[in-house]
Chains A and B, each alone.
Chain A
C-alpha cells in the first residue's frame, strides 16, 4: 500500500511539475551552454572545445543554471499544491505523512533530473558532434542527478513553508553558495554547489589548468562521487523527516 501510494503521489506531482510551459522554459535554461559551446568552438581544435565544455559546465552549468532550474522545480513540488489550494486532495488520504513527504521529494528530484538531463544531453550531443568525444556528458549526468536530489531536499520543504520560496532560494544560492561559502572555508562542506562539483570533478576528464580552477572553487571539499552521494542521501533523509513534520503539525491551508 505504501509503495502504491508513493508511486501515485510521485505520478501526480510529476505530471503537474512537468507541464509543457515550465518544462520548455527550464529546458532552455538547462541547455543554455549549447549555443555558447557552438559559438566558442566553431573552427577550433577538439581539445579546445573539450576544455571550454568543462569550464562552462563547472562555472555556468553547475554553479548557476542547474541549481536555479532545480530550485524552481523543487519549490513548486508541494508549494504549488499549497498555493493552488489542491493540497487537501493529497493530505486527506489515509497515507502516512512521511510517504507524502517522500513522494514530494522524489517527484521534485525526478522532474528536475529529467529536465536538466535533457539540457545536458543537448550540450553533450553538440559537443560530441564537434569533438568526436562522446564521454563528456557522463560526469555531468551524475552531477545533475546529485544536484536534483540535493535541491529537492532543500527546497521541497521550503516551498511548503514559504510563499516566496523561489525568491528565498535564489537569495540562498547567491549569498550562501556564491559568496559566503567562498569566503568561509568552514562552511564549504555544506555547500551544495561544492558537493555537486566534487562529484563532477571526480568523474570528468579535464586538463590540469581546468582542474586547478575547479580545485580552487572546491576549497576544502575533496573530489569524490561517493562522498557527494552520501551527503545528498543524508540531506534527503533529513528533508523527508522535516517535510513530514511540517505536514503533520503546520496549518497548510488558510483561514
Chain B
C-alpha cells in the first residue's frame, strides 16, 4: 500500500496536488457535494461511499466537467475549467461505459495522446495499451469490446500522456478478477511512482488493497479520512470483534469475562470471539487470562478491521 508521506491532518496532506476548498455542488434543491474541504497528494487515495454519496460529482468537478456551485477545486494549483493546459497533467477515467465505438482501441488511445500533445502518439499508445494488456485486441473497434476491455481502453487513454494526477471513477467496473488484480497493481505502481491517484470504488476490498488513504463520503460530505487503520483506531468507542485461537476456549472465556471491557463472548471448539469496547485493555488482559486459565493462545486477530466495517460504521 502507498501512503502520503506528509499528512497535515486527516483531511489534508502536505504535498497536495488536488485541493478542494469549501467545495459544494448542488442541482436545484439536491446537494451532491457539501462544503468539501479536503486535499489529495501523491499515492493512491480511495474515494469511498455508497451510491449518491457525491464521489462521482466530486471527481467530475475536480476534472472540470462540472462547475462548482461554490468553493473551488484546483489541480496542481490550477483550475481545470479556467486553464485547460492542466489536462497535460491529468488523466480521467469516467464512470460511464461509453467510448468512441467507431474507433479501434489503438486509434482511440493514440488520438488521446495526440490531443494531449505527447511526442510520439503512436508509440505512446502502444506503451499504454501494453500496460493494460490490450495490445492483441488493439485493432478491433471499441464497439466489439466487452465492458471490462472498454474500461482498460479508457485507462490506457487516461495514462497515455503520463499524467501526474489520475482521477479514476470506478475504473475496475466490468473487469474480470485477473484484470482487476492487474489494474490494482498498476495503480499501486503508479502511486508509488509519486503520482496522485484518486480512485472511487464501491468494492471495498479493492480500495483497501490499493489505497493508502481513504476519504469516505456520505451524503455529499466527507465523513472521514485517513488510513483504514487510523480510521478504525479513531473509532475507539466502537465495539470491535477480536478472534482468539486457543486450546482451552471455555476457561479462557470465563477469565476474560471478568473485565468490564468485554461486551460479549462467543465460544467455538478452538477459538473465542470477543466483542470489546476497549481493545487496548483487552489486549493487556489476554496474557493474564491465558495464564490463569492455563490456555495456550496460538493467534489473536481483529475480525472487523476491514474497510467494510469502517465504512458500515460511517454510513450508519
CB within 8 Å of B: which residues of A?
A: 1, 4-5, 8-9, 12, 15-16, 19, 84-89, 91-97, 248-253, 255
B66 and A251 within 8 A (CB)? yes
Q: Please list 20 pairs of residues, one from A and one from B, whose beta carbons are closer than 8 Å in the complex, sorted by A's number.
A: A4-B114, A9-B115, A12-B111, A85-B97, A88-B63, A91-B64, A93-B84, A93-B87, A93-B115, A93-B116, A94-B85, A94-B117, A95-B87, A95-B115, A96-B84, A97-B84, A248-B81, A250-B67, A251-B65, A253-B94
Q: Who on chain A is nearest to B65 by CB?
A: A253
A255 and B103 within 8 A (CB)? no
B100 and A5 within 8 A (CB)? no
Q: Mark B108-128, 1 if CB is under 8 A from A, else 0.
A: 100110111100000000000
Query: What B residues does A251 contact at CB under 8 A?
Result: 65-67
Query: What B residues does A84 contact at CB under 8 A?
Result: 98
B22 at the interface (CB under 8 A from A): no
Chain B nearest CB, measured from A44 CB (Å) = 44
Query: What B residues does A93 contact at CB under 8 A?
Result: 84, 87, 112, 115-116
B44 at the interface (CB under 8 A from A): no
B32 and A1 within 8 A (CB)? no
B180 at the interface (CB under 8 A from A): no
A12 and B103 within 8 A (CB)? yes
A92 and B98 within 8 A (CB)? no
Which of B63, B92, B100 contacts A16, CB < 8 Å? Answer: B100
Q: Who on chain B is nearest to A96 by CB?
A: B84
Q: Mark B285-312, 1 if CB is under 8 A from A, else 0.
A: 0000000000000000000000000000
Q: Once the chains are docked, how many angstroms separate the CA of A252 from the CA of B81?
A: 12
Query: What A residues does B67 contact at CB under 8 A?
Result: 249-251
Query: What A residues does B87 contact at CB under 8 A?
Result: 92-95
B223 at the interface (CB under 8 A from A): no
B111 and A92 within 8 A (CB)? no
Query: What B residues does A94 contact at CB under 8 A?
Result: 84-88, 115-117
A92 and B100 within 8 A (CB)? no
Interface secondary structure of B, over-half rule:
mixed
- Give the interface centre of B80, B85, B100, B117 by most chain A CB atoms within 10 Å: B100
Q: A93-B87, A93-B115, A255-B57 are known contacts. Are A88 and B102 too (CB-CB below 8 A)?
A: no
Query: What A residues does B96 contact at CB under 8 A?
Result: 85
Q: Once the chains are docked, how many angstroms separate the CA of A16 from the CA of B100?
A: 8
A253 and B66 within 8 A (CB)? yes
Q: Once the chains are docked, how many angstroms separate the CA of A86 from the CA of B102?
A: 12
Q: A12-B100, A16-B100, A255-B27 are known contacts. Are A92 and B114 too (CB-CB below 8 A)?
A: no
Q: Once the chains are docked, how many angstroms separate the CA of A255 from the CA of B54?
A: 9
Chain B nearest CB, measured from A92 CB (Å) = 5
B48 at the interface (CB under 8 A from A): no
Q: Who on chain A is nearest to B112 by CB?
A: A89
Query: What A residues does B108 contact at CB under 8 A?
Result: 89
Q: A86-B98, A89-B157, A91-B65 are known contacts. Are A8 and B84 too (CB-CB below 8 A)?
A: no
Query: What A residues does B100 contact at CB under 8 A?
Result: 12, 16, 86, 89
Query: What A residues does B84 contact at CB under 8 A?
Result: 93-97
Q: Mark B61-83, 1 if CB is under 8 A from A, else 0.
A: 00111110000000000001100
Q: Once the chains are docked, how many angstroms separate the CA of A97 from the CA of B83?
A: 10
Query: What A residues does B90 contact at CB under 8 A?
Result: 92
Q: Who on chain B is nearest to A13 by CB?
A: B100
Q: Once the chains are docked, how many angstroms separate the CA of A103 from the CA of B219?
A: 39
Q: Who on chain A is nearest to B86 by CB?
A: A94
